């Protein structure tokens, strides 16, 4: 009697606990491409675009978290300081200042060390954040070691596009970080485990998380001169390319013309880079932003491409 | 040795100049506090009634800890980098440790088993000594390069305490560290007042990070310790014919090899030899002068411990084996053999199942009277379901549910002494509540515990 009680409680507790087996909380990570294979893939991919102006820019809203693969079939361009897989974005219009956060995790001993390039409306570089100014974080529990950078900017004519790539200089460096064992020893006052810190090579391919957040979170921070309502008061921004509804009619028409042109140019660039998915997405966005006919125009182009 | 005045003076001068005009800047802008620490706490019961009993073989310096810890223990640390110019930095760190018996909500220091201890309070200056780039000058009380086995919470080389030192001097092949550390002992048998402590000094010299094979690194260390007696203490002992010359000093040597890239983890093997006054009479023998006046004998110890991945990301294991022979001239020593494994299976990123099997064997010398004076041994087996912030033996925080079974030979305790306390026989009485019966030879406990470490 006693002995059955003695075992019943802990065993039932454990059985109950075992029954709680759940699925992993994290989605499986995409497999890592070894650095030399990534290098081959990069070398064998043609430059998508003649200039910065013709990169396939993907519009983003002021409130988005994107997981970006810098692996084929991502487009490739030679940026002067290095040929690289890249992703290019058009920053939201009239949404006020935004905070941009870039996180590049170390996977299987390698990391994509990004340079973040900001271009003005004329596609001229105005700001460049290279990977050596990013912070290195040691692994903690779920999170692997990673490079992280945060900065803020106010999209507008002086800062309209964002490009993420990896320059030759980025790739020549490596990232060294404190191992979890060393961190534990430091925190507990133990002798430091011998051996060098782990080192991640800077690979030509990888995956990055890009997070963009509107900084005008409340009405009190909204610039007084803003013609548009505060982003917080609007429905979720759709990354609209068109002029705000409150703009005057002539301005709106002009903006529409430009926007129409921009969309078709960007779709062209996307097609040239072989990114049909992006082209379709751009066409959808154009339709939603008041440019009827873009979808049909794209369909014609795709038709024409077929033999 | 610290011939560094030229470089040392520069940052100090800068700091003095800075302090006169930049105090508000320092106070408000430059100090980023670092919050770090460690804690464990939980609840447990002994099957058959009563709170959790923790199973430790009497005379053993350690016990296997998974599902076998009966106290709340926490270290709360605060520190900050106070100064930085180019490579030169000054850092401050402090740490307070708390122990409570885990009995109650309001646990007071007035109660037995509860304690608050100031463990660290020190400043370290990195790259502040000219001609020794990379070296760290430090002073204050601190945990100094402690060597432990996590699985049984066993510290085998631990020179912690108030001290001063210069560490990690790059000598081309490896690094050299020197320290002077203070501990104290009380000789209640002779000194009239136990507050009249013996001051023990230990000098520690280490040569670490010596590369010997791919992924392998060697370290060598020597500790010399002695009780430093003022004239009045010497006179006191001379008057009573007490010989304090031999027992009050001793030395310990350590050779340790660590292999990384060992089945996805590490393996460490250490060999230690110690003499006379540096041998801790009970508990962990750490290489710190013990304060004993007449302790004579020697001790040697060999241990191996490590962490391996048996199946990457699915199954890992901590393991250890220890043999220690403490041969005291008055026959109060003992031989200790200990071995344990802790395999953990990871069901997913969060949930895991851990099993810990530990064995301790004690063979006392002939003059041991404070516990079971014949050979005795204890085996403990724990199964625990754990929820942790990731995969890996040292990943925390963890919340675990556990059941622990232990078996030993001989009666658990002896009858109560004159003060009404149980006395150790095969089981140690100081490891927590003693809720198995006097003549029991096994016991079962169950409960829950959290464990966490953190730091920036």
Rounded Cα–Cα distance for residues B334 and B350 (Å): 42
Instruction: Please report which confidence band the pLDDT of residue B229 belongs to, taking 50, 70 and 90 as the band edges.
Output: confident
* Residue B282: predicted pLDDT: 66
Q: Strands (DSSP E) along B171-289, which ranges?
A: 175-185, 198-213, 216-228, 249-262, 265-275
CA of B349 vs chain A CAs: smallest distance (Å): 6
Which residues 104-143 in chain A show a CB within 8 A of chain B? 140-142
A187/B95 touch (CB, cutoff 8 Å), yes or no: no
Rounded Cα–Cα distance for residues A144 and A274 (Å): 32
Instruction: Please report which confidence band the pLDDT of residue B283 belongs to, taking 50, 70 and 90 as the band edges.
Output: low
Rounded Cα–Cα distance for residues B288 and B156 (Å): 10
Task: Enter the DSSP assignment of B84.
Answer: E
Identify the helix (H) or strand (E) that includes residue A63: strand A63-70
Determine the length of chain B.
456
CA of A165 vs chain B CAs: smallest distance (Å): 30
CA of B437 vs chain A CAs: smallest distance (Å): 15
Query: Is B246 a residue whose pLDDT tops 50?
Result: yes
Query: Is B10 a residue whose pLDDT tops 60?
Result: no
Rounded Cα–Cα distance for residues B78 and B35 (Å): 5
DSSP secondary structure letters along B374-404: S-EEEEEEEEEEEEESSSSTT---EEEEEEE
B383: chain A residues, CB-CB within 8 Å: 14
Q: pLDDT for A72-90, tens place per residue?
A: 889 999 999 999 999 999 9
Residues 6+ apart with CB under 8 A from B108: B114
Class of residue A300 by CB neighbours under 10 A (exposed 0-12, middle 13-18, buried 19+): exposed
If phi > 0 it is left, if psi is from -120 to 50 it is alpha, else beta; for residue A224 that is alpha
Give which of A188, A190, A193 to mutate to test B binding, by max B Cβ within 10 Å. A188
Interface size between A and B, measured as CB pairs under 8 A: 102
Identify the helix (H) or strand (E) that includes residue A51: none
Query: Is B309 a residue whose pLDDT tops 80?
Result: yes
Residue B295 in contact with residue B278, Cβ under 8 Å?
no
- B360 compared with A272, residue with greater pLDDT: B360
Q: Which of A59-73, B240-254, B314-328 has the lowest mean pLDDT?
A: B240-254
Rounded Cα–Cα distance for residues A282 and A88 (Å): 13
Instruction: Please report which confidence band the pLDDT of residue B181 belongs to, taking 50, 70 and 90 as the band edges.
Output: very high
Residues 6+ apart with CB under 8 A from B175: B167, B168, B169, B207, B208, B209
Give which of B148, B346, B436, B445 to mutate to test A binding, by max A Cβ within 10 Å. B148
Q: pLDDT for A116-157, tens place per residue?
A: 999 999 999 999 999 999 999 998 877 889 999 999 899 988
For chain A, say whether B235 makes contact (Cβ under 8 Å).
no
Average pLDDT for A278-298: 79
Q: Which of A73-82, A192-201, A298-307, B215-224 has the lowest mean pLDDT?
A: A298-307
Chain Cα centroid distance, residue B454 = 18
B389/A142 touch (CB, cutoff 8 Å), yes or no: yes
Residues 6+ apart with CB under 8 A from B73: B38, B39, B40, B41, B97, B98, B99
Q: Where are the domains of chain A?
A: 1-23+261-307, 33-255
Query: Is B208 a residue whose pLDDT tops 70?
Result: yes
Average pLDDT for B280-298: 73
Q: Which of A53-57, B77-81, B278-282 has the lowest mean pLDDT?
A: B278-282
Residue of B nearest to A196 (CA): B215
* Residue B291: predicted pLDDT: 67
**By 3-state DSSP, what share of chain A in percent is helix, strand and coil, each rounded to 5?**
35, 25, 40
Average pLDDT for B255-265: 94
Residue of B nearest to A17 (CA): B385
- B8 compared with B306, residue with greater pLDDT: B306
Q: Where are the domains of chain B?
A: 42-70+101-454
Rounded Cα–Cα distance for residues B342 and B382 (Å): 9
Question: Which residue of B350, B385, B390 is in closest CB contact with A18?
Answer: B385
CA of A1 vs chain B CAs: smallest distance (Å): 11
User: And the tokens for A252?
Assistant: 């709106």
Question: Which residue of A22, A140, A192 is in closest CB contact with B351?
Answer: A22
Output the CA–CA distances (angstroms, integers) from residue B346 to A29, A48, B15, B393, in the order listed: 18, 45, 51, 10
A23: chain B residues, CB-CB within 8 Å: 348
CA of A51 vs chain B CAs: smallest distance (Å): 41
Print burial letters for A90-113: b (CB count within 10 Å at least 16), e (below 16). Answer: bbbbbbbbbebebbbbbbeebbbb
Rounded Cα–Cα distance for residues B91 and B120 (Å): 13
For chain A, say whether B313 makes contact (Cβ under 8 Å).
no
Name the residue among B93, B179, B183, B180 with its Cα closest to residue B135: B179
Which residues 139-198 in chain B show a CB within 8 A of chain A? 142-148, 157, 160
Q: pLDDT for A168-202, tens place per residue?
A: 999 999 999 999 899 999 999 999 998 888 999 99
B385/A194 touch (CB, cutoff 8 Å), yes or no: no
Rounded Cα–Cα distance for residues B285 and B252 (Å): 10
Name residue, tokens 């009277």.
Answer: B369
Q: Which ipTM did the prediction report?
A: 0.86
Q: pLDDT for A36-70, tens place per residue?
A: 899 999 999 999 999 999 999 999 998 999 999 99
Question: Which residue of B37, B148, B394 is in closest CB contact with A180?
Answer: B394
A18: chain B residues, CB-CB within 8 Å: 353, 385
Helix runs in B303-430, H state only: none
Query: Is B12 a residue whose pLDDT tops 70?
Result: no
Helix runs in B126-269, H state only: 231-239
* Residue B187: predicted pLDDT: 67
Q: Provide the mean pLDDT of chain B.
A: 88
Which residues 366-425 in chain B show a CB within 8 A of chain A? 383, 385, 388-390, 392, 394-396, 401-403
Identify the helix (H) or strand (E) that includes residue B288: none
Helix axes A276-288, A249-272, angle to 10 degrees: 170
Residues 6+ apart with CB under 8 A from B266: A181, A193, B258, B259, B260, B306, B307
Residue of A nearest to B444 (CA): A6
A194/B260 touch (CB, cutoff 8 Å), yes or no: yes
Query: Is B128 a residue whose pLDDT tops 90?
Result: yes
* Residue A275: predicted pLDDT: 78
Rounded Cα–Cα distance for residues A281 and A123 (Å): 22
Q: pLDDT for A24-35, tens place per residue?
A: 334 445 678 888
* Alpha-carbon torsion, ordered A117, A120, A123, A124, to 10 deg: -70
* Residue A284: predicted pLDDT: 81
Query: Is B41 a residue whose pLDDT tops 90?
Result: yes
Residue B323 in contact with residue B336, Cβ under 8 Å?
yes
CA of B174 vs chain A CAs: smallest distance (Å): 10
Q: How many CA atoms lie within 13 A of A203 on its CB side?
A: 27
CA of B219 vs chain A CAs: smallest distance (Å): 9
A194: chain B residues, CB-CB within 8 Å: 208-209, 217, 219, 258, 260
Average pLDDT for B33-42: 96
Tell me the three state secondary structure of residue A17.
helix
Task: Enter the DSSP assignment of B416.
Answer: P
Instruction: Please report which confidence band the pLDDT of residue A216 belongs to, taking 50, 70 and 90 as the band edges.
Output: low
CATH architecture of B42-70+101-454: Beta Barrel (2.40)
CA of B358 vs chain A CAs: smallest distance (Å): 19
Query: Is B355 a residue whose pLDDT tops 90?
Result: yes
Output the CA–CA distances (angstroms, integers) from residue A109 to A169, A198, A241, B83, B310, in the order listed: 19, 8, 40, 33, 20
CB atoms within 10 A of CB B354: 24
B217/A194 touch (CB, cutoff 8 Å), yes or no: yes
B266/A13 touch (CB, cutoff 8 Å), yes or no: no
* Residue A20: predicted pLDDT: 43
Name the pTM for this structure: 0.76
Residue A244 in contact with residue A256, Cβ under 8 Å?
no
Give which of A191, A193, A198 to mutate to test B binding, by max B Cβ within 10 Å. A191
State residue A208 phi and psi, 5-degree precision: -130, 145
* Residue B426: predicted pLDDT: 93
Name residue, tokens 């998508």.
Answer: A48
Residue of A nearest to B78 (CA): A187
Query: Is A241 a residue whose pLDDT tops 70?
Result: no
Q: What is the Rg, in whole angstroms, of the alpha carbon atoms belonging to chain B? A: 24
Query: Is B19 a residue whose pLDDT tops 60?
Result: no
A27: chain B residues, CB-CB within 8 Å: none
Rounded Cα–Cα distance for residues A251 and A239 (Å): 19
Residue B266 in contact with residue B259, Cβ under 8 Å?
yes
Residues 6+ apart with CB under 8 A from B29: none
Q: How many CA atoms lie within 13 A of B108 on its CB side?
A: 2
For chain B, say whether A199 makes contact (Cβ under 8 Å).
no
Query: Is A1 a residue whose pLDDT tops 70?
Result: no
Task: Enter the DSSP assignment of A273.
Answer: T
Residue A156 in contact with residue A117, Cβ under 8 Å?
no
* Residue A23: predicted pLDDT: 38
Residue of A nearest to B37 (CA): A187
């Amino acid at each position: 009697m006693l002995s059955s009680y003695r075992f019943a409680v802990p065993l039932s507790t454990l059985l109950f606990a075992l029954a709680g087996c759940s699925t992993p909380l994290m989605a499986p990570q995409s497999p890592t491409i070894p650095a030399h294979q990534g290098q081959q893939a990069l070398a064998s991919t043609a430059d998508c675009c003649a200039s910065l102006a013709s990169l396939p820019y993907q519009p983003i809203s002021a409130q988005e978290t994107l997981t970006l693969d810098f692996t084929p079939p991502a487009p490739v361009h030679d940026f002067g300081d290095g040929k690289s897989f890249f992703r290019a974005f058009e920053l939201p219009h009239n949404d006020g200042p935004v905070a941009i956060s870039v996180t590049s995790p170390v996977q299987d001993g390698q990391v994509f060390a990004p340079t973040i390039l900001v271009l003005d409306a004329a596609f001229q570089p105005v700001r460049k954040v290279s990977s050596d100014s990013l912070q290195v974080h040691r692994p903690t529990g779920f999170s692997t070691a990673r490079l992280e950078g945060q900065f803020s900017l106010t999209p507008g004519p002086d800062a309209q596009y964002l490009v993420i790539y990896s320059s030759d200089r980025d790739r020549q460096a490596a990232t060294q970080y404190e191992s979890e064992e060393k961190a534990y020893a430091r925190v507990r006052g133990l002798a430091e485990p011998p051996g060098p810190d782990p080192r991640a090579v800077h690979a030509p391919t990888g995956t990055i998380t890009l997070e963009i957040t509107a900084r005008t979170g409340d009405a009190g921070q909204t610039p007084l001169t803003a013609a548009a309502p505060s982003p917080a008061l609007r429905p979720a921004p759709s990354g609209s390319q068109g002029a705000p509804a409150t703009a005057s009619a002539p301005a709106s028409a002009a903006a529409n013309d430009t926007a129409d042109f921009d969309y078709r140019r960007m779709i062209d660039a996307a097609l040239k880079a072989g990114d049909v998915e992006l082209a379709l997405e751009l066409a959808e966005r154009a339709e939603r932003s008041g440019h009827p006919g873009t979808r049909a125009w794209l369909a014609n182009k795709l038709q024409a491409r077929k033999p | 040795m610290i011939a560094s005045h030229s470089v040392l003076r520069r940052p100090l001068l800068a700091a003095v100049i800075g302090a006169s005009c930049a105090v508000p800047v320092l106070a408000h802008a430059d100090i980023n506090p670092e919050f770090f620490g460690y804690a464990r706490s939980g609840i447990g019961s002994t099957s058959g009634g009563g709170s959790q009993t923790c199973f430790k073989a009497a005379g053993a310096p350690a016990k296997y800890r998974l599902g076998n810890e009966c106290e709340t223990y926490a270290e709360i640390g605060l520190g900050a980098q106070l100064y930085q110019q180019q490579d030169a930095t000054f850092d401050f760190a402090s740490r307070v440790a708390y122990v409570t018996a885990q009995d109650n909500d309001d646990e007071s220091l007035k109660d037995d088993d509860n304690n608050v201890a100031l463990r660290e309070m020190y400043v370290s200056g990195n790259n502040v000594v000219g001609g020794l780039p990379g070296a760290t000058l430090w002073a204050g009380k601190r945990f100094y390069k402690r060597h432990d086995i996590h699985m049984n919470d066993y510290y085998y080389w631990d020179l912690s305490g108030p001290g001063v030192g210069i560490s990690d001097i790059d000598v081309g092949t490896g690094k050299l560290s020197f320290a002077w550390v203070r501990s104290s002992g009380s000789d209640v048998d002779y000194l009239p007042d136990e507050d009249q402590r013996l001051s023990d000094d230990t000098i520690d010299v280490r040569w670490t990070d010596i590369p010997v094979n791919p992924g392998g690194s060697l370290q060598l260390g020597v500790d010399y310790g002695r009780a430093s007696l003022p004239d009045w203490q010497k006179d006191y002992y001379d008057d009573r014919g007490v010989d304090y010359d031999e027992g009050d000093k001793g030395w310990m040597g350590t050779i340790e090899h660590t292999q990384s890239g060992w089945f996805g983890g590490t393996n460490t093997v250490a060999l230690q030899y110690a003499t006379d006054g540096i041998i801790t009479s009970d508990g962990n023998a750490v290489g710190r002068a013990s304060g004993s006046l007449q302790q004579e004998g020697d001790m040697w110890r060999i241990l191996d411990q490590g962490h391996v991945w048996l199946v990457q990301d699915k199954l890992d294991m901590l393991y250890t084996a220890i043999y220690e022979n403490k041969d005291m001239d008055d026959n109060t020593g003992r031989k200790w053999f200990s071995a344990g494994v802790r395999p953990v299976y990871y069901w997913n990123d969060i949930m895991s199942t851990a099993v810990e099997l530990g064995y301790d064997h004690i063979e006392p010398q002939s003059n041991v009277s404070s516990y079971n004076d014949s050979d005795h041994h204890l085996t403990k087996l724990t199964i625990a379901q754990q929820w942790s912030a990731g995969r890996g033996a040292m990943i925390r925080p963890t919340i675990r549910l556990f059941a622990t079974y232990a078996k030993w030979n001989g009666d658990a305790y002896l009858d109560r002494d004159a003060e009404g306390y149980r006395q150790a026989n095969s089981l140690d009485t100081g490891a927590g509540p003693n809720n198995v019966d006097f003549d029991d030879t096994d016991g079962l406990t169950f409960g829950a515990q959290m464990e966490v470490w953190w730091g920036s």
